[in-house]
Structure 1
Amino acid sequence: MTGQRIVVTGATGNLGTAVVRALAADPAVGSVVGIERRPAAHPPPKTEYVPLDVTRDDLTLALRGADAVVHLAWLFQPTHRPDLTWEANVHGSLRVFEAAAEAGVPTLVYASSVGAYSPGEGDRRVAEDWPTHGWPAAAYPREKAYVERCLDAFEREHPGLRAVRVRPGFVFQRSASPEQRRLFAGPFVPGSLLRPSLVPVVPDVPGLRFQVVHSDDLADAVRRCVLRPVSGAFNIATDDVVDPAFLASLLDARLVPVPSWLVRPALAAAWRLHLVPATPGLFDTVLRLPLMDTTRARSELDWRPVHSAAETLGEFLRGLREGSGGGTPQLAGENTRASELGSGVGQRP
């Protein structure tokens, strides 16, 4: 088989499934190797799954001979055990980087996040040179920012390796909706309730706004980063900004002003009682996220999002209502039996 050999970690989650689809569909790619702790039973075309854990298994052999490594694996839970997420996300990322260098892989594409950025300044759009110190009160931005520092040092130590970072906004697709509900809202928020007729109001929290991107659009950007001679960081998101007014319009609901000082203690109490997995620090992070300028991705990657913010969130909400999920253990929905997938439901993205 001719064409490039691409290795993808976290290959069966929200972003991973989309990236594997995008790479496998490109004629320049000859084969895709998906590294995942719990692979799906039936890989897509041109794809082979390898059951490896990035925190403990030997990765060098799987990476040897690859033209590029795309590192997507990330653990969101358990939020009450930041030592475990640090081990998976920081230590696991370092092991992937080091294995790529040892195996002689020429290209590394790493999925960072808007969460790695330092707090923004109002509605100012920031480019890729904005500081990436995260928000220290939450594990997710703290880990994303730390891995960025590690990658800075790794690039200095390995100047011959081409490193690319993609920094997306919130990433959605229909098949990942049940998984994202479990990860961030918890089991006590039925997805079937999130339909316009059943959501009469949307809390209007000051400062709450963010950007989104469809998984397929982000995967297209990753594919371009793999196959084009680019390096550095790329912001990836739709131009539309999602705020409470945007959500109210999407759900045909009315806005009700709610101060953030009321939301945070309620969320903190629910998190302490293990009713929701999202931490109050993550809520603080979202309120401080900058808005990203995607000019570099458009000019150097010729990238444009196919899906608007409304289309992306509309598809996500339909997926929540249907509860069917995707065809991998990580994306399994409420209507999918684990035995049909060949493995248990995981928590990696």
Structure 2
Amino acid sequence: MNVMSSALVTGGSGYFGSLLVKKLLEKGISCSILDIIDAPDRPSNVQLFQCDIRDAEAVKAACKNVDVVYHSVAQVPLAKNKELFNSVNIQGTENILAAALANGVQKVVYTSSSSIFGIPKKNPVTETDIPKPLEAYGKAKLEGEHLCKRYIEQGLDISIVRPRTMLGHGRLGIFQILFEWIRQGYNVPVLGKGGNLYQFVHSDDLAEACILAANRPGSELYNCGTDRFGTMRELLEALCQHAKTGSLVKGVPARPTIWAMKATTALGISPLGMYHAMLYGGEMYFDISKANTELGWQPQYSNSEMLIQSYEWYLANRATVLTSSGGSPHRSAVKQGVLNAVKWIL
């Protein structure tokens, strides 16, 4: 395995990027960050390149004198802006890859997304399955993978890591709504009986997979998720039982609920993205045997462990979360919109 001594993390002020930086520093790897914002918790020994990833010259300057680039910056589904998806997730990715190639970077690790598979026809999903994204975010992330393959052909060493939905300490976004409902004792919905198998990945586990991929020469694809997961109902019931606030998991009719979720998302009155509406009642989980075998990667957290940890972090930091503004969507509270009314009828 290669040993990388210096790294650039794009999106290093965001939820996952900041955790990745922390883990790299713990391993003795010097880090710099490329981001449009400067997070208040950025370590003093981490240089910030405060620029837009769509600025090709600024990106090229940031990629100088680093061994590995971890490309984790992205516009997420909560942004609901297709043009922003394309310019940041596609053009921004090409800028990073071109800069890495020009600067002789030894390795690029591209954090992709399980949304590139849409709603899979079979599970578990493997690295050889053909992606079929169904919405703008998934399509943009897949285009990023296609760009990676083009630059691999030009000699750039790139590993693509595809995570399932991330959880862990500090993970908020739409999960903040779930946590707030349970904190207040409101019931939470599942579609139908909630028997769909659904897999998450802890952000710490994902960071470890990315670092292992960076240290392994050769361009590869790796699917990453926990190896201990069950149904959506089981997961939410475990959290309700842990919280002891009186919240229960309630089944709601699947088809009309999905229709309503899509409609309110399209109207802009729901905080959910179209991907959330399509997959909440769907089933999806990765085969992670390739990452196990080739990287020696083993996830440390189960679905329920990571969700409970995320909930407890929210309770401990709620006052700060609710008064802060700006920053990464995954590190922030979100407005409930029409969901604020839904909780009263469950």
Structure 1 partner of 2:327: 345
Partner of 2:171: 176
Match of 2:262 in 1: 268
Question: CA, structure 1 residues 82+250, in 2 after alignment: closer, same or farther (shift >3 Å)?
Answer: same
**1:148 aligned to 2:145?**
yes
Paired position in structure 1 for 2:306: 312
Equivalent position of 2:219 in the other structure: 231
Residue 275 (structure 1) shift: 2.7
Distance in structure 2 (CA, Å) of the matches to 1:118 and 1:346: 24
Q: TM-score, normalised by structure 1?
A: 0.82
State the 1:258 CA deviation: 2.3
1:68 aligns with 2:84: no
Deviations 1:213-268 (A, max 9, x none): 11111111111112232431111111213422331233135554323211123223
Which runs of 5 or more structure 1 residues have no equivalent in the other structure? Answer: 326-331, 339-343
Work out the number of aligned pairs and report it: 321
Give the one of 182, 185, 197 matched to 1:198.
Answer: 185
1:283 aligns with 2:277: yes
Equivalent of 1:244 in 193, 218, 233: 233
| Alpha-carbon distance, 1:35 to partner | 0.7
- For residues 128 and 51 of structure 1, the distance between their equivalents in structure 2, rounded to whole angstroms, comes to 34
Deviation digits for residues 151-174 of structure 1 (CA, Å, limit 9, x no counterpart)? 222212x22x21101111111122
CA distance in 2, matches of 1:276, 1:260: 17
Instruction: Say if 1:113 and 1:167, in contact at 8 Å, map to a contact too.
Output: yes
Specify the alignment match of 2:206 in structure 1: 218
Written as runs of structure 1 = structure 2, the 5 A alignment for 1:61-100 is 61-76=61-76, 79-100=79-100
Tell me the C-alpha RMSD between the 2 structures. 2.7
Distance 2:330 2:61 in 1: 22
Aligned residues of 2:262 and 2:277 also touching (Cα < 8 A): no
Q: State the structure with bigger RCO (CA 8 A, min sep 6), 1 or 2.
A: 1
> SS at the partner of 1:116?
helix
SS at match of 2:255: helix
Matches within 5 A, 1:21-170: 21-27=22-28, 29=29, 31-44=30-43, 46-58=45-57, 59-76=59-76, 79-117=79-117, 119-122=119-122, 124-135=123-134, 138-156=135-153, 158-159=154-155, 161-170=156-165
SS where residue 132 of structure 1 aligns? coil
Mapped contact 1:120–1:291 kept (Cα < 8 A): no
SS of corresponding position for 1:35: strand
**Secondary structure of the equivalent of 2:6?**
strand
For 2:43, what is the secondary structure of its paired residue? coil
Check the 8 A contact 2:199/2:285 in 1, yes or no.
yes
Q: 1:242 to 1:72 in 2, by over 3 A?
A: farther
Structure 1 94/242 Cα, relative in aligned 2: closer, same or farther at 3 Å?
A: farther
Q: How does 1:328-339 map to 2 (within 5 A)?
A: 333-336=321-324
Quickly say closer, same or farther: Cα 1:176–1:257, change in 2 above 3 A: closer
Query: Post-superposition shift, 1:204?
Result: 3.7
Q: TM-score, normalized by length of structure 2?
A: 0.83
- Structure 2: segments with no counterpart, 5+ residues: 242-246, 332-346
Instruction: State the 1:81 CA deviation.
Output: 2.6
Determine the C-alpha separation between the residues in 2 that align with 1:287 and 1:90.
29
Contact kept? 1:117, 1:290, Cα under 8 Å:
no
Report the secondary structure of 2:49's partner residue. strand
Identity %: 23
In structure 1, give the amino acid aligned to 2:92: G
SS at match of 2:321: coil
Q: Distance in 2 between matches of 1:296 and 1:174?
A: 27
With over 3 angstroms needed to count, the CA separation of the structure-2 counterparts of 1:211 and 1:45, relative to structure 1, is farther
The answer to whether the Cα contact below 8 Å between 1:14 and 1:172 also exists between their aligned partners in 2 is no
SS of 2:128's partner is coil
Distance 1:192 1:323, change over 3 A: farther
